[in-house]
Amino acid sequence: MANITYDAQGRCWILQMDASTYCLGLSEDASSLRHIYWGPRIAPATASEMAHAPRPLKRPFDMSAWTLREEYTPWGGMRFSEPSLKVEYSDGTRVIEWVFEEDAIDQPGESQTLSLRFRDRAYPLAVTLYYRIYDGHDVIERWVRLENTGGGPVTIEQALSADWQLPHHERYRLTYLQGRALKETQVTESVLGPGKVVLESRRGITSHQLNPWVALDPDARATEESGEVWSAALAWSGTWKIVVETTAYGEVHCAGGVNDFDFRYRLDEGARLDLPAFVGLYSNEGFGGVSRRWHAYERERVLPEAPAAVRPVLYNSWEATAFAVNERNQMELAEQAAELGAEVFVLDDGWFGTRDNDEAGLGDWTVNPEKFPHGLSPLIARVNALGMRFGLWIEPEMVNPDSELYRAHPDWVYHFRNRSRTEGRNQLVLNLAREDVREWMCATLDRLLSEQHIEFVKWDMNRYFSEPGWPEEVGRNPERIWLEHVRNLYRIIDELRRRHAHVAFESCAAGGGRVDLGILSRVEQVWPSDNTDAFDRLRIQEGFSYAYMPRVMMCWVTDCPNFLTRRTIPLRYRFHVAMAGSLGIGGDLARWSAQELEEARDFIASYKRVRSTIQNGLLYRLLSPRTGNVAASQYIARDGSEVVVLAWGHSQQFGETQVSLPLRGLDEEACYADAVSDMNYSGAYLAQQGLPMNLVGDFDSQMIHLIRTTPTR
Ligand code: GLA
């Protein structure tokens, strides 16, 4: 049970979670909030004892008066590390002196929330820090509310969501996910020395380059399944920043939130601003333990779908027909997709406006009459008659200069006076901070979803922000676009979901440019990358799995040679890689041989038998594609009744065929039967000796489905 208590003796609050404890308290003069403890679960009395413990001695010759480790640092006094909050008051005062006002512990059921309210001693700013924990989890959601309590505007220059203090250790290793379009979420490590590491996006969206997720382990001691790891992730889909700072005394803290770059936000009298959550968790079960905790949190507390929901098998026609879509070729693909067992058919780009390539049409969300002379209804009716749901691609935040929308509203895009409007993929970004743009977008999409029986939306976003100006607002805080664009995006999706509850959403941004806990609270799934080469994909999917659960990871089987890498890989391997998440098909089925179609049907049928275990189970990464010739993942159903193992061999060497994969997390006393062959194994055997795999030649792969035959206790 999650539990938050106030300990009067230690003047501290103690947050008890599933397997961890967090403790924080006020400084003696109530002018700062001390971090006391974050780690394995301890008794409240121990936390209280820590809160009591004598403060560290003032350091000799240290010019900074502050030796406290603070939970949130308003810029002011002798503070020189990364500030959490920096403001300017209307008389030009730029430092904060805050005092504690009140606390509250809210206990609505399965979660508990601690709020701590501070206010500036002399100016109209109230700052409330929130900490929310949940039964059965080790996550702490932290966020902040800023309020102008009256008396002149307050300009916010930097407002992070939380500052996580880590226990003292000689050296931390930072693990994070970096890359670029077509190479997203690459697991990357670096050992920290004194100084700052800044991970950030200044691109308006979450970004392909860095994902707002980090893990820190002391002395690089953690392995996949052992060791202490602290991890944090931002629930925000706009520009962001995570600063991991190591002081000269070896203290490490990790502050994060909305990026302060080019940022100013004017908080008028009576206004308030809620900052996005920066969520943290602790595990002493290595990186695997960290990932499983993130997955459980996403499944139970973040995603809009029920925890046990499974994603349908999807067909998407983008790689097959690109912009050359029409009623006939989409109907043909739909027939074939249905025959294979697809459950959703998605019509991608090219269906609207004058969209024959990427040079025109974005912004004009009406059906192209040449390609679909009778509108989309006949195609949708056919898709539905084939037993599938119909899905549609849109990219609402964008406009091509060659479009009706842009010709009518050239002022609707981000731009500065006397400056170029730099195009990316021939498109510009609509200024979604504008109320008229927000209203137009919401009404346009609402109409689309009301007029057509659409049950799935792929929401794309194919370029970063540049020249983020808003000339009409000069002098009235145009820099607020960095916040308001994302807040309005969230509002629109929330509103569409409310009005069209039967529609599922996928977040895509030229591949995996918008994957984060913020968007995941309003979409069922995300598109991790436009790179669909199965071999490259293993590394992208591995990194993705560090932070995000398999169910949300859409993976397509596409054609060979792959459009990007020119690599040819057996269909079986392509399927087995795509089965590691939510399975989709993205190939041109018209070109698949009868044998390939037959094989595909079987793979899809076998995937449906195991998908609930893969999508919602406990993931154990057995072998990393970064380190060896064979990569493998294991999934255990949450009730322990089934196990699925996927193994991918790159190239057989020196005549070796047998690999044994010791499995994890099994009941050693239970028995497990192979669902296909007649093999039976004890849990102990599988854990010690390992599951025998037979990978032959190049790009061979296997999926093994084990069923527990001993009743669960
Ligand atoms: C982006 C997406 C692709 C596809 C194209 C369509 O690149 O990531 O999946 O939808 O746009 O233009």
Q: What pLDDT digit, counting tens, does each position of 614-630 carry?
A: 999 999 999 999 998 99
- Mean per-residue pLDDT of the chain: 96
Distance (angstroms) between ligand 1 centre and the Cα of 149 equals 46
Closest Cα to residue 3, out of 144, 139, 134, 129?
134
> Catalytic: which of 7, 348, 364, 530?
530
Q: Given a cut of 80, is residue 67 above it in pLDDT?
A: no
Average pLDDT over residues 108-135: 97
- Please, which residues have CB within 8 angstroms of residue 166's CB and are 6 or more apart in sequence? 38, 172, 216, 230, 251, 252, 253, 254
Q: Is position 639 annotated as part of the catalytic site?
A: no
**Rounded to an integer, what distance in angstroms lies between the CA atom of residue 318 and that of residue 272?**
43
Q: What is the DSSP letter of 352?
A: B
Which numbered atom of ligand 1 lies nearest the CA of 530? 8
Atom of ligand 1 nearest to the CA of 348: 10
Is a pLDDT exceeding 90 seen at residue 61? no
Of all protein residues, the one whose alpha carbon is nearest to atom 9 of ligand 1 is: 530
Through-space distance between the first and last CA atoms of the chain, rounded to whole angstroms? 22
| Ligand 1 atom closest to residue 509's alpha carbon, by position in its atom list | 8
The pLDDT tens digits for 260-300 are 999 999 999 999 999 999 999 999 999 999 999 999 999 99
**Pair 671, 682: CB distance under 8 Å:** yes
Classify residue 687 by its DSSP letter. H
Residue 662 has pLDDT above 80, yes or no: yes
Residue with the smallest CA separation from ligand 1 atom 6 is: 349
The yes-or-no verdict on residue 634 having pLDDT over 70 is: yes
Q: Are 187 and 543 in contact (CB under 8 A)?
A: yes
Concerning whether 18 is annotated as a catalytic residue, the answer is no
Question: Is the pTM above the cut of 0.95?
Answer: yes
* Distance from Cα 527 to the centre of ligand 1, integer Å: 10
pLDDT digits (tens, 9 = 90+) for 543-595: 999 999 999 999 999 999 999 999 999 999 999 999 999 999 999 999 999 99
For residues 414 and 412, give the distance between their C-alpha atoms in angstroms, rounded to a whole number: 7
Mutate to test the pocket of ligand 1, among 460, 531, 532, 554 (most ligand atoms within 8 A of CB): 460
Distance of CA 484 to the CA centre of its chain: 20
Crossing angle of helices 435-451 and 481-499, in 10° steps, is 20
Which of 284, 13, 42 lies closest to 129, judged by CA? 13
**Catalytic pick among 460, 516, 533, 559:** 460
Q: Whose CA is nearest to atom 7 of ligand 1?
A: 510
What is the maximal distance between C-alpha atoms in the chain? 81
DSSP single-letter state for residue 712:
P
Mean pLDDT across 171-193: 97
Q: How far is CA 106 from the centre of its chain?
A: 27
Ligand 1 centre and the CA of 704: distance in Å? 33
Q: Is-cis flag, bond preceding 124, omega within 30?
A: no
Mean pLDDT of 165-186: 96
> Of the residues 400, 508, 515, which should be mutated to test ligand 1's pocket, given the most ligand atoms within 8 Å of the CB?
508
Q: Say which range, 15-24, 53-62, 246-255, 508-517, has the weakest mean pLDDT.
A: 53-62
Q: Over the Cα atoms of the chain, what is R_g? A: 26
- pLDDT score recorded for residue 53: 79
Place of tokens 């929310």: 132
Could you tell which of 180, 208, 317, 349 is best to mutate to test the pocket of ligand 1, judged by most ligand atoms within 8 Å of the CB?
349
**Selected residue with higher pLDDT from 713 and 329:** 329
* H or E element at residue 596: helix 594-616
Structure tokens at 407: 């010709």
Extended beta strands in 413-493, E state: 428-429, 456-459
Q: What is the DSSP letter of 434?
A: S
Find the residues whose C-beta lies inside 6 A of ligand 1: 318, 348-349, 393, 460, 462, 508, 510-511, 527, 530
Model confidence at 57: pLDDT above 80? no
Paired residues of 5 in beta bridges: 14
